[in-house]
Structure 1
Amino acid sequence: MKLVDSHSHLFLDEFRDDLPQVIARAQAAGVTHIFMPNIDSTTVEPMLRVCEEYKGYCFPMIGLHPTSVDAGYKKELAVVAERLAMPDNYVAIGEIGIDLYWDRTFLKEQLLVFEQQVQWALEYGLPVVIHCREAFDYIYNVLEPYKSSPLRGIFHSFTGTLEEAHRLLEFAGFYIGINGVVTFKKSDLPEVLPGVPLNRIVLETDSPYLTPVPNRGKRNESANVKDTLLKVAGIYGKQPEEVACITSENALKVFGMLK
């Protein structure tokens, strides 16, 4: 069984002491590719180091995360622009988007940063990986003018309603990222997902966060994508091997790596 973790932050300090073991467990679980979204200027080098160490297995993105957007956003955006112009084999612009869960102070700046990075994605022909928290309409309104453009990507960590899922699926080149949240007792995703075509789903962990049951409360890691797979397979009433194959192909397609 082959699995893809389309969203994992294995370059963070949480993995500093045992990354080789974490990678070995992912490989043992059948994970063939791990895609790594950047956060801000402080994480670029650690991310690139991990991707260099595990070349051909871990793949870097470049982007500015919405929770890192503040009054100094222009300097942070300049780092993204500079990195995009360098040959570091970035596979996507991410993680980008809008996050109003913690703070709305820099909403205007978040919108500017998001819009700029979407434009860069089109300029460089890269997919986007979008973070949306308490900001669905803002995200949708920024993206709507690009509906008929070649823009493609992943709506990471989707936890919305079926109506929201259908609105996102209006964007033909986009997929919905499902992680450990689907296993949580209070999650609505088991009711929502049957209305979403499986060929528009990708699996992710968001490690070290959002650990699926049965390990909820512990540090998440890429091997745990298997627990999310089993839950999703149950929801769709399909064999895990089939769901693994479809969702992995979806992920490799969006990142332009489907052979």
Structure 2
Amino acid sequence: MIETHAHIYDDQFDEDRDDMLKRAFDAGVKQIWMPNCDHETINGMLALENQYPDVCLPMIGVHPCYIKENYEQELYIVENLLSRSHLRPFPMIGEIGIDFYWDLNFVPQQEEAFIAQLRLAKKYNLPICIHSRNSKNGELNAIVRCIELIEQFGWSDLRGIFHCFSGNLEEAQRVIGLNFLLGIGGVVTFKNGGMDKVLPSVDLKYIVLETDAPYLAPVPHRGKRNEVAYIELVARRIAELKQVSFQEVVQQTTENALHLIRK
């Protein structure tokens, strides 16, 4: 299995990180993709890449929840690292996007940063990992807004993942139509997560696995710290919803992930 989204550098893992990773490898995880948040998370992420080369892969980007007054400086750091990618490559830009859930004060800056990082993805021909979280009342739809911004610029050659996809079937079809994949994590195991109404109608070739560890632990660990090994629970639930074997889910989602970063 390929874990396409885990914050394994997070301090929640400081006491048992190596043991947590061993559990992941024992569960069959072959690769872990690490989304960046801002300049403060880069060093921890790269240290893990050095410790587990070709297994722990770092993304580079600015998370929308970390877009504040200094966002232009954060973007400068990202572009500077990408400009030296011949020395140390990043396979993906992320996580980037729009968050309507936590703080609406910087939404205009979030959109500016998102567009700037989409341009970097085009410039360096890299896939992107998109964070798109709706407002608490559901009135502000971040998935749709991210789609609109991509369509607005006519960037049909972009590719990537809508991480932690939680939209409806129509939104899933729009995402797939843009040449993006759906990142499916612990929400698929939630009773009211809504994925049971979406995934049966989505071909496996458009799905990748993730946990978003240490967040969004799947049932029966919901509410506790998430970890990469729990990705098996995600894959097994997808297999149930798709009425296919666990092994077919593992094989197809692995192919999808590898194809994305090898283009």
TM-score bracket relative to the smaller structure: over 0.9
Change (3 A) 1:231 1:219: same
What is the CA–CA distance in structure 2 between the aligned matches of 1:219 and 1:120, rounded to whole Å?
A: 33
CA RMSD, 1 decimal: 1.2
TM, length-normalised to structure 2: 0.94
What count of residue pairs does the alignment treat as equivalent? Answer: 254
Deviating beyond 2 angstroms after TM superposition, the runs of 4 or more aligned structure 1 residues are 145-150
What is the CA–CA distance in structure 2 between the aligned matches of 1:215 and 1:13, rounded to whole Å?
A: 19
Gaps of 5+ in 2: 135-141
Change (3 A) 1:240 1:18: same
What is the CA–CA distance in structure 2 between the aligned matches of 1:85 and 1:93, rounded to whole Å?
A: 13
Q: How does 1:109-258 map to 2 (within 5 A)?
A: 109-134=109-134, 135-145=142-152, 149-172=156-179, 174-256=180-262
What is the CA–CA distance in structure 2 between the aligned matches of 1:234 and 1:167, rounded to whole Å?
A: 24
Q: How does 1:12-27 map to 2 (within 5 A)?
A: 12-27=10-25
Q: Which amino acid aligns with 1:74?
A: E
Q: How does 1:87-102 map to 2 (within 5 A)?
A: 87-102=87-102
SS in 2 for 1:140: helix
Q: Is the 8 A contact 1:60 1:90 kept in 2?
A: yes
Identical residues among aligned pairs (%): 43
Which segment is superposed worse, 194-203 or 146-155?
Answer: 146-155
Q: Which amino acid aligns with 1:166?
A: Q
Question: Per-residue displacement from partner, 1:134-153 (whole Å, max 9, x unpaired)?
Answer: 11232111111455632110
What is the CA–CA distance in structure 1 between the aligned matches of 2:89 and 2:193, rounded to whole Å?
A: 36
What is the CA–CA distance in structure 1 between the aligned matches of 2:9 and 2:232, rounded to whole Å?
A: 20
* CA-CA distance at 1:214 after TM superposition: 1.5
TM, length-normalised to structure 1: 0.95
Q: Is the 8 A contact 1:147 1:170 kept in 2?
A: no
Q: How does 1:1-40 map to 2 (within 5 A)?
A: 3-40=1-38
Aligned to 1:108: 108
Q: Is the 8 A contact 1:147 1:171 kept in 2?
A: no
Gaps of 5+ in 1: none
Q: How does 1:63-82 map to 2 (within 5 A)?
A: 63-82=61-80
